[in-house]
Amino acid sequence: MKYLKMNNGRECPAIGIGTFMISPADAEVSVREALKMGYECVDTAAAYVNERAVGRGIKASGVDREKVFVSTKLWPTEYENENAVNETLERLGVDYVDLLYIHQPAGNWLSGYRLLEKAYKEGKAKAIGISNFEGKYIAELETKWEIAPQFIQVEAHPYFTQDELRKTLDKYGIRLMAWYPLGHGDKSLVNEPVFTKLGEKYGKSSAQVILRWHTQMGFAVIPGSKNVDHIRDNLNIFDFTLTDEEMAEIAKLNKGVRYYNGTDEQLAGYAAWKPPYEKE
């Protein structure tokens, strides 16, 4: 496993198992099996409605809690709920999380960030982060945080390398955790000739080459899957290293093309929708 040093001195595994759009039943199995095969990071969110399942998967894996980097996110409807962090811990069945995000720049997001800072000071979150904060949102937060975030979670892949955002991140040592790391399953990205060529050279799939590119860019990456073979393959990326020339060749693919664009209308909807949390 490779690790990324955060701006608070702690470390985060460079790859984790993601659980976005995975049902509770499948999330429990994916997390359990991923941890058994060597993953050390699990990412979930209140909005994924599978936090309890993720907690069950962690316990069922038999891996000590201290060896699992648990990442989750508060949803906008919880930003003014003073008990939101405790409720999150209860759903996961843990005493603390390793990384706690606010999920969207919607609603009273500054109040949500204050909850993160409080949780950090109390030891309930060992690191804090922001998800989907780009442009004007991170520019505003930058003037208001008391504690700079350790991570930001945003869309990133070879077609969209977040060059502008990274100028701000680099100022504060904020790490980037990439979602849609394979371009939301876009075959045109995965089948780019450069990845086919490098896959043949290193005996890897195109997806494995792209995931390795992420880690060499300094990104954490959280590919999600309910297929055990895919989960295993996604982890098997640290036995080769792309050269500087190969990284430069991949850099030429950056088109500024993304697969998700959050609109003001969508953000307003996020502020009103309450996740139907799992029941015990």
Judge whether 226 and 22 are in contact, CB under 8 Å: yes
Helix, strand, or coil here: 39?
coil
* CA torsion angle 233 235 239 241 (round to 10): 100
The alpha-helical segments, DSSP class H, found in 123-256 are 136-142, 163-172, 187-190, 193-202, 206-216, 228-235, 244-251
Q: How far from chain centre, in Å, is Cα 23?
A: 18
Q: How far apart, in Å, are the Cα atoms of 228 and each of 62, 221, 224? A: 17, 17, 11
C-alpha to C-alpha distance for 106 and 278, rounded to whole angstroms: 23
Give bridge partners of residue 12 from the DSSP assignment: 4
Contact indicator for 76, 110 with CB cutoff of 8 Å: no
- Rounded distance, CA 127 to CA 99, Å? 5
Residue 20 has which token pair? 């976005």
What are the phi and psi torsion angles at 36 (to 5°)? -65, -35
Helix (H, G, I), strand (E, B) or coil at 268: helix
Whose CA is closest to 32, among 55, 3, 14?
A: 55
Strand pairing category for 3-5 and 11-13: antiparallel
Active-site option among 39, 48, 180, 270: 48
Q: Does 96 qualify as catalytic in the annotation?
A: no
Catalytic residues: 48
